[in-house]
Structure 1
């Protein structure tokens, strides 16, 4: 950890690292929240955030950012604050994903059991879902009969994707 007067002032103002804040390497002559800083020194990224960081634990690891974002949004829809870690590294060099454990979804330690259950339920639903149809047909939303791809009106009931009941 760096030890400079500017750093000590920041640490005194913010003794607990804040949520979503990282240590940033600064350039020579940069101005920090308490004056000029020296090259090679670090300072707390956003001094306006005073919320203490929760003890975060990993509850899921995902190969793609889409899956990780979906898991994060699913948890947040259930009232659990969730964060994504290592997405930038995997996005910059996908081959590093295996080395770092892919993209992680993190929650506070207090929410871990509930978050794991929500994600496990999501995974069960994905496994139990019937496989995608090999045919080029889509179901009619009114009667369920398969309609050939490209046909907008159901030949069985007359329902149409163009606006409800057919003419």
Structure 2
């Protein structure tokens, strides 16, 4: 069992790393440790390499995003919940893409493999809620939707952010034909 202080240190390190890497993808391990208020030894015990830290930040973000689905569905209709959730996902994808030069190809592959299941499960929950209430067509597929989010990420990084408009078109295409 992990001690409470060790869990708190890990959480502080992840939060500090998320902030530092968002500001500057080249932030050093020492900068992260200072921002987290921990010593270098504590940082390296938790994350022996910079790549391990970046992977953990991304995995934590995927868990956070996937975990928001029940709350979103409790607060809003499925299509609106999907819009909010997808916006968060695209932002996380942009961050991951920005960190690509930090990670080896193997680490990038690991991120994709580890995030696929939780993301598909979250999308399935959102799409199924819409299918149940009739706001989403019955043939909507989470894998297809996930592929479309790749285009949204690219559109979000263009000089004029086209992602919100493209997302509106995608969501409109999910509505049942009447």
TM-score by length of 2: 0.25
TM-score by length of 1: 0.26
Structure with the larger RCO, 1 or 2 (CA within 8 Å, 6+ apart): 2
Question: Would you tell me which structure has more helix in proportion to its own residues?
Answer: 2
From the CA coordinates, give the structure whose radius of gyration is larger: 1
Question: Would you tell me which structure has more strand in proportion to its own residues?
Answer: 1
